[in-house]
Amino acid sequence: MSNTAPQNSSPKILLVKLSSLGDVLHNLPIVWDLRARLPNAQIDWVVEEAYVGLLAPLLSREGFRGIDRIIPFGLRRWKKNLFKFQTWKEFFAFKKELLAGPYDVIIETQGLLKSALVCSLARKAPDGLVAGLANATEFSGYEPIARAFYSRCVPVPKRCHAVDRSRRVMSSALDWPLLDRQENQALFYPQDYIAQLTQTEIVEHQVAFKKPYILCFHSTAREAKRWGDENWVALARALSSKDYQMVFPWGNASEKKISAQLASQVPGAIVPDAFSIEEAFSIIAGATLTIGVDTGLTHLAAVLGKPTVEIYCDSPRWKTEGYWSDEIINLGDIKAPPSVDEALNAALTLLTQ
């Protein structure tokens, strides 16, 4: 593998960011960065199959050039069915997709062994370059063995926002100056796509939604990142008294139980049906406000540029806070959750803008 960036104006580039929801979202700006400088490049992306819906709006189409090819990765499902013929059939089909290259540049921004192994499976051009993280950032998963699969290891600050981290790896891979955050706004989804979302009706089975409604994303994969239930009830009651319907989504059976407990204490509040990532776009776009802890769907609201209050309780705010829009207010920090009054004031500020 080469350690030199390609010199041609239409390189084939492979992005490897497999999961999770928030991590994939915060990797989106580099697609816009690449396309701005290399309009004729081929840009492919390998992602866990559960998150393909996050990338679909960026697929190239008439009048818009974004991602040329999404390559789904079914590792989570495959691991549960290792001894089935279908699993291996799908794996070899996935490998065949990676061999379609050859890729001039592979940009791996996750720093995990599974991501690095994906890079190793991809077909490289004779002077192809694989760029990845040289070190961990604080409070992020990182596996040093992944460095063995890179031809260029990119050092990043210990405290580095997820968007900036991806941009550092990309800039190094292409031998570009580091993009300045102030001069290069983080872009995520096409404006015409977002505008179309605001006109989309909520999916039919979500009949209980009544505008204006406020989404409360109270659950997350790590219990310590949750905000107290008593806080949610107090905040939701205050907003409900101002004629907003409070909505408590959920992702699994235990979260649904918590949503039901919260909603039962708030006048007019509802627990919606389960919804997919694709449906989440329209549901979030239709909301007057989203309030949520540090979790993927809260970040989806933020990257869509919708009014969003992000609540940090046990994770560092600098790592993922929404800094690209005045419609986002970030509260709290690691070991320093915000008060109900702080959250209510933030919500009212966005509701009256």
Residue 201 pLDDT > 70:
no
Dist. CA 61–CA 322, nearest whole Å:
28
Mean pLDDT of 94-113: 95
* Mean pLDDT across 306-335: 97
Confidence of residue 183 (pLDDT cuts 50, 70, 90): confident
- Shortest CA distance to 38 belongs to which of 73, 62, 7, 61? 7
pLDDT at 197 over 70: yes
User: Of the given ranges (68-82, 99-113, 177-191), which has the lowest mean pLDDT?
Assistant: 177-191
Question: What integer is the mean pLDDT of 169-196?
Answer: 90
5 domain residue, yes or no: no
Average pLDDT of every residue of the chain: 93
Q: Are residues 154 and 216 in the same domain?
A: no
- Torsion 176-181-184-188 (CA) sign: positive
User: Does residue 71 belong to any structural domain of this protein?
Assistant: yes
pLDDT top residue among 207 and 49: 49
The mean pLDDT of 130-141, rounded to a whole number, is: 95
Same domain for 184 and 198?
no
Tell me if 40 is assigned to some domain. Answer: yes
Considering the entire predicted model, what is its pTM?
0.94
Judgement on whether residues 167 and 215 belong to the same structural domain of the protein: no
Q: Reduced to 3 states, what is the DSSP secondary structure of residue 292?
A: strand
**1 falls within a domain:** no
How confident is residue 196, by pLDDT bands cut at 50, 70 and 90? confident
User: Do 65 and 156 sit in the same domain of this protein?
Assistant: yes
Domain end point (choices 188, 210, 244): 188
**295: burial class by Cβ within 10 Å (0-12, 13-18, 19+)?**
buried
CB burial of residue 345 (10 Å; 0-12, 13-18, 19+): middle
Percent of the chain with pLDDT over 90: 84
Q: Is the pLDDT of residue 1 over 70?
A: no
272's tokens: 């919606």
* CATH number of the domain encompassing residue 283: 3.40.50.2000
**Is residue 295 left, alpha or beta, with left meaning phi > 0 and alpha meaning psi from -120 to 50?**
beta
Same domain for 96 and 166: yes
Average pLDDT of span 129-157:
96
Would you say residue 327 has pLDDT above 70? yes
Same domain, 143 and 247: no
Within-domain flag for 332? yes
Query: Does 50 lie in the same domain as 147?
Result: yes
Does residue 153 sit in the same domain as residue 221?
Answer: no
- Please tell me the predicted confidence (pLDDT) of residue 226: 96
Q: Which of 44, 30, 13 is nearest to 187 (CA)?
A: 30
Last residue of a domain, one of 141, 170, 188: 188
User: In the structure encoding, which two tokens stand for residue 133, read together?
Assistant: 């993280």
Amino acid at residue number 276: S
Residues 233 and 261 in one domain: yes
Structural domains in the chain (count)? 2
Same domain flag for 41 and 174: yes
Spatial separation of the C-alpha atoms in residues 164 and 211, rounded to whole Å:
36
More confidently predicted of 279 and 205:
279
Do 126 and 243 belong to one domain?
Answer: no
Q: Centre a 10 Å sphere on the Cβ of residue 102 and count the other Cβ atoms it contains.
A: 14
Query: Angle at which helices 229-240 and 340-351 pack, to 10 degrees?
Result: 40
pLDDT at 221: 85
Residues in the chain: 353
Alpha-helix runs per DSSP H in the chain: 21-27, 29-37, 52-55, 75-79, 85-98, 113-121, 162-173, 191-197, 229-240, 253-263, 277-286, 296-303, 317-320, 340-351
- pLDDT level of residue 76 (50, 70, 90 thresholds): confident
Of 100-104, 205-209, 230-234, 278-282, which range is least confident? 205-209
The rounded distance, in Å, linking the Cα atoms of 264 and 6 is: 59
Unique residue bearing structure tokens 């869509």 = 304
Q: Please indicate, yes or no, whether residues 183 and 207 belong to a single structural domain of this protein.
A: no
Residue 171 pLDDT grade (very low, low, confident, very high; cuts 50, 70, 90): very high
Q: What is the pLDDT of residue 182?
A: 73
- 115 found inside a domain: yes
338 contacts: CB under 8 Å, gap ≥ 6: 227, 311, 312, 331, 332, 346
- The answer to whether position 240 is within a domain reads yes
Looking at 188, 214, 231, the residue that finishes a domain is 188
Q: Does 184 reside within a domain?
A: yes
- What is the C-alpha separation between 238 and 235, in angstroms, rounded? 5
- Only one residue has tokens 């992702």, namely 251
Q: Identify the band that residue 207 occupies on the pLDDT scale cut at 50, 70 and 90.
A: low
What would the two tokens of residue 35 be? 């396309």
The percentage of the chain sitting over the pLDDT mark of 70, rounded to a whole number, equals 95
| Structure tokens, 310 | 């992000």
The whole-number pLDDT of residue 202 equals: 57
Where in the sequence is the domain holding 143, given as residue range(s)? 12-188
